[in-house]
Amino acid sequence: MSERFTGSFTQQEPIPEAGIDAAVAVLRHGRLHRYNTVAGEVAETALLEEEFAAYVGATYCLALASGGAAMACALRALQVKPGEPVLSNAFTLAPVPGAIASIGAKPVFVEVTEDLTIDLAHLEAQAKATGARVLLLSHMRGHVCDMDALMALCDRLGVRVVEDCAHTMGAKWKGVPSGRHGAIGCYSTQTYKHINSGEGGFLVTDDAGLAARAVLLSGSYMLYARHRAAPPPEVFEALKLEVPNVSSRMDNLRAAILRPQVAMLDDRRTRWRALYQGMEQGLAGASGVKLIPRPQHEDYVGSSFQFLLPGWEAARVARFVAGAAARGGELKWFGAADPAGFTSRYAHWQYANPVPLPQTDRVLAGLIDMRLPLTFTETDVAQIARILSEEAALAAKAEAVEPVAAPVAD
Ligand SMILES: *Cc1c(COP(=O)(O)O)cnc(C)c1O
């Protein structure tokens, strides 16, 4: 009998007791809305913003209803207009092009490299071809590109950078926190990310004008002076009648749950790194498997794991994924013909009229992805790696594999 993994790839850790206590206190007083405060009280949301700003070393921070709302707010704050092209990675998740589309702008996709980061040569070509002035850079699955090269290129091209740090909260590039290279950094506090409030997000920046616009956009009415990690009221004076209210605030209940978790981020990065490296060691040398190199300057959060099956026919990949699933290994395949669960790829986002990107198609055709929740132990990771290595060997040597639909049909 071959071994089978029986754990869950989607089980989070509980909310820390301090967060539960703080949440119950908010429920007892009932003032969940961030601007519903009594004399002398500072809302949980305002405190959370101050603490997250300090954690990433940003001057300003705004908490929002979701990571997607943070990205759309960032694009609006940069005054991206309807119909305007906005550059983004072709390898990302649906809320990224969705944020661009939500303001009527046009996603322009950029090829991904085999390292799963944005292709800088193609970025330059797409920027020049479209005249785009904004890049929504997704650090997809935690893989950070050479940020010095990217920022130098974008500065030269006059392209402002918004960082989507949904997978890099707590990560760094050369010691600089992810989200602190571009004009604005956006983060998600959704359950599957690095701190958990069910739904939620942050936007950080050092630019007072952008911060004031973002606060007004989030729906601050004329109560922006109750923020702490925001510019002084005079910055709002010139903008308050000009910027629309696109209601997307965070509430005090979520903020209460999140505050103790911000302080846990560095420890979580260390724990995730141990799981990630365990998987890396377990899969080293597996047949037909190419691991993704991690640059020395990248202090990553290993909350998920990716590898490539380069050159494998679709049917062989499908057999591998099915074989792993039968033994409890929950894998996502970015090359699958149809979108499944949380996973779709650029060709599926038809509202954006995507143009085929051959390099990205080649990479995604063999791209396998799995979650590494902190509820996994190092023993779990070693067992999953053993199962995947065995299934890879079986699939790699299978002579004839049933043909299935081509992974990249469109
Ligand atoms: C989850 C996610 C987001 C958006 O976060 P939500 O809080 O769910 O809106 C953005 N980008 C990527 C890559 C994500 O995985």
pLDDT digit string, tens, across residues 89-100: 999 999 999 999
CA distance 292 to 348: 25
Q: Which of 93, 163, 304, 334 to mutate to test the pocket of ligand 1 (most atoms within 8 A of CB)?
A: 93
- Contact (CB, 8 A) for 394 and 15: no
Distance 102 CA to ligand 1 centre (A): 14
CATH of region 265-401, choose from 3.40.1010.10, 3.40.50.300, 3.90.1150.10, 1.10.4030.10:
3.90.1150.10
| Domain regions of the chain by residue span | 17-262, 265-401
Q: Which of 164, 248, 301 to mutate to test the pocket of ligand 1 (most atoms within 8 A of CB)?
A: 164
Q: Angle at CA 343, nearest 5°, toward 337 and 344?
A: 55
Query: Which residues are paired to 137 by β-bridges?
Result: 163
Q: Which CATH class is domain 17-262?
A: alpha beta
- Give the global pTM: 0.96
pLDDT digit string, tens, across residues 345-371: 999 999 999 999 999 999 999 999 999
Q: Residue 342: what pLDDT?
A: 86
User: Which residue ranges of the chain lie beneath pLDDT 70?
Assistant: 1, 400-410
Ligand 1 is surrounded, with C-beta below 6 A, by 66-68, 92-93, 95-96, 138, 140, 164, 166-167, 188, 190, 201
Q: Residue 410: what pLDDT?
A: 40
Of the CA atoms within 13 Å of residue 355, those in its CB half-sphere come to: 7
